[in-house]
Structure 1
């Protein structure tokens, strides 16, 4: 696989990001504040949002979730999956880190740090199961990772989540705790509830994203699709996320304002997870003999999480006012600034850990 470098990213990581991406934590905080204000100031808003729903999911929130998932999945180069077998070390290491180490690490952190808060603990475990398929492409590019490898891993994770997420959720929420003598998730949880949520909130936008790219490239070509169409479509992922957060916090306002320490306790295992997962993956990739560009790609794809899917599954399975949904919402607030910081760390470590490596960015 070829290596594509961004020009001198260490001179200003933030400046290479769009205004929307650069200030994502600010927009998320603003959406939270707006949601809290609406929940407190608009009489009957909670009842109105909860009244229009299909099953246990509010229709307005379902629309927000689908809108934020679709642009992300329309960006994936699905034809790049043909290159999966080109580097068996890369793919094997990435699959183990993403689907074995990552979920196990989040499971351990959740039980160690929030053992007395079962709803938040379950929400954190769901976050750990939702492997990154979105903004990892941004972090990877800023850190001068391998762009083709990132595209392959994103595509593989997109498809693999449809097949594996429900089983892993059932395993980590019911089977493994039972084996360890720990309390299992409440009877409200079922394998099929998570499967249905994944099928709807990942399967539908995944199919739509695949068809959009297929027919868009067929009609206008890849150059038009990626440089003219995607820039117009891309911001809608953030719009959908912010819309969903506003609604969630309008519904969750009382729980959040009355228990701010709970939010801080959700944030701690997330912070540790991102840092440990990224550094461990980078060092494991180096030990496996991968160069800087591929090691960085493996590290960011392993450390990032698909918080959009985590929020969707938590809402679809446990409800919009659940602690599980709140844990999912806190995810992007912690992930975005931490992974931006890790871009700088990656560029700083590159010449120290990967000496005489031609893929290391030149200062």
Structure 2
């Protein structure tokens, strides 16, 4: 996938040499600053958590939803939707993605949860829920920064969304009750809300996807593809970065007190998450390389398999076990680890591009 723009804040991202553009190169600094600002706000501004939690649609925070929509819309407006048939025709990519996302990754997180926190059932359950929530939002950002295949990412995310709605509850029952019982381990009862899962998919993917599709369709019809991609998208692109940073600030402000007051607990939750993200990403890259999928599709496969839908995991944990539960804390630690780790994996993917893949 050739990169035609070096406009940094367009969230697209790297230059032709496989390097991040100048401003994108400092993305880890912006993210660290956003995380720190969120933690400080959560600790220093009285009543901020209560105010943010009070503005909700169901169990979904409205400010976080707005941030995610602003983040997702520019990325989905870049997708060339008339090329999705090409992606669907790639049966190796489709089959591999389904196996990684819905068989290998949840099973791996189940194993990690029992290995690292066998004595802490609340955190263990929270980690398993994170493993079941496949990524449908931020993965578009990481994939775009690493020069992955945008059309492939959109299709895989859509497939993950459908599976998420219909299989999340079943897999939750399997990994929290049935499988532990088979293995002679303690079980956890959890009643997952079908509406919570469906609402997450519709809000965090459905709305920006529809907006992105209509924007490209109407824009190209009115002005042509050349104008749309060379004039319109560079102006729209920076909003993805703004939305990402805004979302991170809010997430960490909401749970700043929990994170800073329980550092040892956060560390115990963070370690299996770190192993999970790195190992699943590396497996996706290795499998894609072995199948000769090419760099762009391989990168998309790796990011869609390793990323998680933390907004859904948090919503499910809060709705099922309560806002102050250990399960909810595990969900919150998810983005604390996922964001910086997947940013680092963007650099790892770009490094691998020039060494293990032919252009």
Alpha-carbon separation, structure 2, partners of 1:69 and 1:186: 34
Equivalent residue number for residue 354 of structure 1:
none
Alpha-carbon separation, structure 1, partners of 2:89 and 2:248: 40
Equivalent residue number for residue 218 of structure 2:
215
Equivalent residue number for residue 131 of structure 2:
125
Preserved contact between residue 70 and residue 239 of structure 2 (Cα < 8 Å):
yes
Alpha-carbon separation, structure 2, partners of 1:328 and 1:196: 20
Q: CA RMSD in A?
A: 3.2
Equivalent residue number for residue 195 of structure 2:
192
Preserved contact between residue 130 and residue 306 of structure 1 (Cα < 8 Å):
no
- Which sections of structure 1, spanning at least 5 residues, go unmatched? 142-149, 351-359
User: Are 1:17 and 2:21 an aligned pair?
Assistant: yes
Tell me the alpha carbon deviations over residues 25-69 of structure 1, each in whole angstroms, 9 at most, x when there is no partner: 222221121112222222222222223322223322222222222
Indicate the SS of the match to 1:43: coil
Alpha-carbon separation, structure 2, partners of 1:71 and 1:113: 38
Report which stretch shifted further, 307-316 or 214-223. 307-316
Tell me the alpha carbon deviations over residues 123-169 of structure 1, each in whole angstroms, 9 at most, x when there is no partner: 5314555583332133135xxxxxxxx23321211321331112332
Alpha-carbon separation, structure 2, partners of 1:308 and 1:97: 11
Give the TM-score, by structure 2 length: 0.80
Preserved contact between residue 70 and residue 240 of structure 2 (Cα < 8 Å):
yes
Equivalent residue number for residue 144 of structure 2:
137
| Alpha-carbon spacing, 1:167–1:49, altered in 2? closer, same or farther (3 Å) | same
Alpha-carbon separation, structure 1, partners of 2:340 and 2:279: 18
Indicate the SS of the match to 2:95: helix
Equivalent residue number for residue 303 of structure 1:
302
| Alpha-carbon spacing, 1:283–1:224, altered in 2? closer, same or farther (3 Å) | same
Alpha-carbon separation, structure 2, partners of 1:258 and 1:91: 43
Equivalent residue number for residue 241 of structure 2:
238
Matches within 5 A, 1:26-175: 26-84=29-87, 86-115=89-118, 116=120, 117-118=123-124, 120-126=126-132, 128=134, 130=136, 132-140=139-147, 150-175=149-174
Alpha-carbon separation, structure 2, partners of 1:305 and 1:88: 16
Give the TM-score, by structure 1 length: 0.79
| Number of matched pairs | 335
Runs of 4+ in 1 over 6 A off after TM superposition: 9-12, 306-309
Cα deviation for residue 309 of structure 1 reads 7.2
Preserved contact between residue 281 and residue 298 of structure 1 (Cα < 8 Å):
no
Tell me the alpha carbon deviations over residues 264-303 of structure 1, each in whole angstroms, 9 at most, x when there is no partner: 3344333333433343334434444x2xxx3433432222
Indicate the SS of the match to 2:46: coil
